[in-house]
Structure 1
C-alpha cells in the first residue's frame, strides 16, 4: 500500500514492544546499563584522552546495546530469582523469549505429567527439566491414539480411546507399552533425577523399581497403577518410602490382582510407611496382619473399593500406631468379621472416615465401631444404608469429639440424638444434606447440647431454619458467640 510523502508507515503486524525498548524507557536503568558496559569495555585500558572521546564511546555503546540482549549481563542465578517471583501464568510466555530463558524456566519446573513416552526415552524431558522431583508417567505408559476425539476421564487418569474400543476394559493389556521399554525409560529417569521424591507409574515391572530405588534414595511417595503381586517384589528396594498408593483393579478401566502375596512383599520391604492406600486390591487377614506387624510407623490406612476376604477386619488391631482409617467406595465392609472377642481394637485411632460406602450389614458395621471404639473424629459422607439402627452402633465410640454427617438421608433426628447425647466429650458437630433430620424435631435436650458446642454447622436440608426451630430454648443467648451458620 503506498504511503503519503513525509509520513511514516504504521506497523501492520502490531509487533509487541521488545525487551530492550522496555528497559530503555527508564532513564535511570539506561544510565546503569551504559555504565556497566562502559566499565566492561574500558576495564584494563587507559582512560580516554578527553571528554569528547568519552562521549563518543558512550554513544557507540548505546547503539550497540540496542542490538544486544540486555539480560545477558545478568547471571543465571539472578535471573532465576527474578523468574521464581513471577506468577505461573507468565512462565510459558517467558520461555519463548530466547533459548537461555527457555532453559532457565525449565530449571524452575519440579512437577510434570508426561503424555508421550518418547519424550522421556529420547532424553528431551531431562534436558528440558533437569530439576524434577514429582513425575507422573501413568498416561504415557498407555499406547493410546493422541489424536482421538474420545477421551475417557477417571479420577485416577485420562486416556484417549478409539471408536472400536474393547468391552473387556478401556485399557487392555495390548494397549500398554512393552515392559522392556518401560524399564528403559525408568532407568533414564532415575539416572537424570537423583532428587526424585514422587513417582506415578502404570504397569511397573519387577526389575524397574529397584533401579529407581537405587538411583533415587530420596523417593518418598509412590503411586502404582495396574499393579500385580510380582511387581511388588521390587518395591522392597525403596527403603525410604513413606507414602504408597496401590491401584489393582478399576471396574471398567483395567484389572490386575494384588493379593496377600503382594501385601506381604510390601510389608517386608517398606517398613517406613506412614500412609498406605489400597484401591481395588484383594487380600485377607494375613495380608493386613503382615502390614500391621512390619510397618510400625503406619499412621494412615485407606481402603478404596476393596475386595478383601471375610475376616480381614480382625487384623487391624496389629496396626498399633494407626491414627486414621478411611474406607472409600466400599460395597461391603467385612461380611464375616468373626467373633467379637477376636476383633481387637485400635487404641491410637483418632479419625474414622467413610465415604460412599454401603453400610447395610449390621454385623460388619457393629464390628467396625467396636474395632474403632477409641476414635475421636467420625466422618460420614454419602453412605448408603446409614439409618438409625446402623448409626446406633456408633454409641460404642464414647470418646468422640467431632462428628460430621454429609448426605446421610436415612438418618433421622431421633437417631442422631440417641447417640450424640451419650457422647460426653462431643465439641464439634456438622450436619449437611440429611433430609430426614428436621429442625422441628429438635428436643430441648438436643438444643441444650448445641449451646455448649465449640462448633456447630447445621444445614440438614435447604429449608433448615435452626433459629426458628429452637425458639425459646435459649440457644441464641448462650451459644450466640460460638454458633456458626452454615
Structure 2
C-alpha cells in the first residue's frame, strides 16, 4: 500500500480515558532530576520572553506554507530546498541578554571555543571577559582591545610593554610574578635591557586610553609609567582598588595621589637582571599621604628607612598587611613598625638581612595587634642575630609564626623567639640547621601553643624527642611531623600496616 509523501502511514489517535480518576502509574515514579534545559529555563519570566521573541520574529521559511516540508510533492523538492536556503540560526531569536546569561553559566575554559562559532558570539564573549593580560601592545594602540572587550575591570599590561621574542621557548620567571621570553643569545648584562622597554610617552598614552575606555577599572598592573599616565588613571578610574607598579620611581607615585579608594598597592622597584628603579623614603611618603585607605602594601626591591615606614604607619591607619621582599632598607627601619598600630600580618621574603642596625631594644616598640609573622627564604645567620632579635621583639605579641626555607637558622638564633609568649601556631619548613634541642628550648616556654608543623628539617631527629616534648605533642590540637625522609617512611609504613615492629618515632611519642 502506498501513501502520499509527508503523511504518517500509521496514524495514532488519542481516545478519551474512560476512567479519568484513575491514577497514572507514571506519576508514582520518582521525580526525574533536572536537566540542563530545566536549569536554564527555570525562570518563567525568561521563558516567556523567549516565546514572545520567537513569535514576533518567525522566519519566512517556517511561516510560508508553500515551503513547508509537508507541502513538497517529492523528495527532490526537499533536496532543492535544503540546498537553496540554509536553515535559520535558532539562537538569532534570543536576545543578547539571554545569551549572555546562558554563556555565564558555562565554565571559563569554554569561553574561547564558544567565541569561534560566529561574530555575534565573539562579541558576546568579549563582554563576559573581565580580567585580561595584554601580550601585544599594538592590540591596545590600534583600539582593537576596546572594540573586542568592553567590560574589562582587571588588566595587566606588563608583558605588552617589553619587546621580546615570543617565538622563543625560553621563559624566565621571577618570584615576583614577572616573566619574559628570551632567546639563546643571552648576555651577562641581564635578561632584558632598556632598549627592550617601550618608551614612557607611549606607555602613558596607552594608560590614558585605558582610563577613558574603562572607567570602572578595579585592578591595574602597569610598567614604566610616569606621573602623567598614572594621573589619567587616578582621575578617570575613581573606583580603582588595586594597583601594581613595575619599574616606577619616586616621582611617578605623585600620579596616584588622587586614587582615594586604593586599598592594595604593590611596588616593585628593582628586579636583578630585568630592570632597576628607585623607590625610597620620598616615594613612600608620597604614597602614604595620597593613599590613606591602604589595607595591604607590598614593597619589592625598594629602598627606604625609618622615615618611610613611619610615614606609612602614621598616614595609613587602616593598613593590616605589610610585605617586604628583597628590601634595601637602611638600618633602624624595624623601629618604625610600631607606628603601624593596626598591622595584623607582616611578611618578609627573600631578604638578605633583616635589619643591619636595629638600635637599642627600648626604642623598638611593638605591634600590639600583630597576629601573623611570615619569613620565607630569608637569611637569619648568626651574624644577623641582632636584627632577628629586634624583629621578634617588635613582634612579641604575635600569635602565628611561619618560617620557611630560612638560611642559617640555628638553635642560638631561633632561641630569641622565646620572647613571643602568645604564639598559638608554629610552622617550620626547610630549616635544615635547627635541632630538637633548639626547638624544645623555645616551644616548651609557649604555654598557649596549639598547632605545630615541622617539615623537611633534617637535623630534627625522631630519636632525640624527649619525654617532655612528646607530652607536649599529646596535648596539641594539630601536629604535622615530617622532619626528614625517615619520618615519612615510618608514617607510610604505619599507614600501610607494615613495619609494626619498631618505629622509634612512635615509641618516643609514647614514652
How high is the TM-score relative to the length of structure 1?
0.85
Give me the whole-angstrom Cα distance separating, in 1, the residues matched to 2:51 and 2:423.
71
Match of 1:420 among 437, 443, 446: 443
Unaligned runs of 5+ in 2: 1-36, 38-49, 73-77, 495-502
Kindly state the Cα deviation for residue 66 of structure 1 after the two structures are TM-superposed. Answer: 4.8
Per-residue CA deviations over 1:80-125 (Å, capped at 9, x if unaligned) read: 1111122223222211111000001111111111011111111111
Query: Are the structure 2 counterparts of residues 390 and 435 from structure 1 closer, same or farther at C-alpha, using a change threshold of 3 Å?
Result: same
The RMSD of aligned alpha carbons is: 2.7
- 1:349 paired residue number: 370
Q: 2:140 matched to 1:140? A: no
Structure-2-length-normalised TM-score = 0.81
Aligned pair 1:245/2:245, yes or no? no
1:244 is paired with a residue of what secondary structure? strand
Contact 1:220 1:243 in 2 (8 A): yes
For residues 144 and 34 of structure 1, what CA distance do their matches in structure 2 show? 53
Match of 1:195 in 2: 216
C-alpha contact 2:130 2:154 (8 A) present in aligned 1: yes
Alpha-carbon offset, residue 232 of structure 1: 1.0
- Bigger CA drift: 390-399 or 172-181? 172-181
Residues of 1 paired with 2:71 and 2:354: CA distance?
81
| Superposed displacement of residue 471, structure 1 | 4.6
1:315 aligns with 2:312: no
Q: How many residues align?
A: 438
Of 325, 331, 338, the match for 2:359: 338
Contact 1:442 1:469 (8 Å CA) reproduced: no
Deviation at residue 67 of structure 1 after TM alignment? 2.3
Please say if residues 450 and 475 of structure 1, whose CA atoms lie closer than 8 Å, have aligned partners that are also in contact: no
How big is each residue's C-alpha offset from its partner over 1:297-355, in whole Å with a ceiling of 9 and x where there is no partner?
A: 00000000001111111111111110000000000000100011101111000000000
In the alignment, the residues of structure 2 paired with residue 280 and residue 255 of structure 1 have an alpha-carbon distance, to the nearest angstrom, of 9
- Paired position in structure 2 for 1:404: 427
* Other structure's SS at 1:130 match: coil
CA contact (8 A) 2:298 2:324 kept: yes
1:433 equivalenced with 2:433 (yes/no): no
How far residue 77 of structure 1 moved from its aligned partner, in angstroms, is 1.1
* Deviates most, 180-189 or 33-42: 33-42
Q: Deviations over 1:376-409 (max 9, x none)?
A: 0000000011111011000000000000000001
Distance in 2 of aligned mates of 1:322 and 1:307 = 21
Structure 2 counterpart of 1:281, from 294, 299, 302: 302
Within the candidate set 93, 104, 107, 2:127 is matched to 107
Unaligned regions of 5+ residues in structure 1, if any?
1-22, 24-32, 477-486
Corresponding residue of 2:250: 229
Query: Which string of whole-angstrom CA distances, capped at 9 and with x for unpartnered residues, describes residues 256-302 of structure 1?
Result: 11111111111111111000010000111111111111110000000
One of 454, 457, 461 as aligned partner of 2:484: 461
SS in 2 for 1:352: strand
Q: Which moved more, 1:200-209 or 1:461-470?
A: 461-470
* 1:154 Cα offset (Å): 2.6
Partner residue of 1:96? 116
Contact 1:305-1:328 at 8 Å conserved across structures: yes
Q: Deviations over 1:181-206 (max 9, x none)?
A: 11111111111111111111111111
Contact conserved, 2:376 with 2:406, CA < 8 A, in 1?
Answer: yes
CA positional deviation for 1:150: 4.3
Partner SS, residue 181 of structure 1: helix
> Contact between 1:34 and 1:58, CA under 8 Å: does it hold in 2?
no
Q: Is residue 2:151 matched to residue 1:131?
A: yes
Question: Secondary structure at the residue paired with 2:201?
Answer: helix
Which range moved further: 178-187 or 378-387?
Answer: 178-187
Map of 1:386 onto structure 2: 409
Q: Give 2:106's aligned residue.
A: 86
Give the Cα separation in 2 of the matches to 1:165 and 1:473: 55
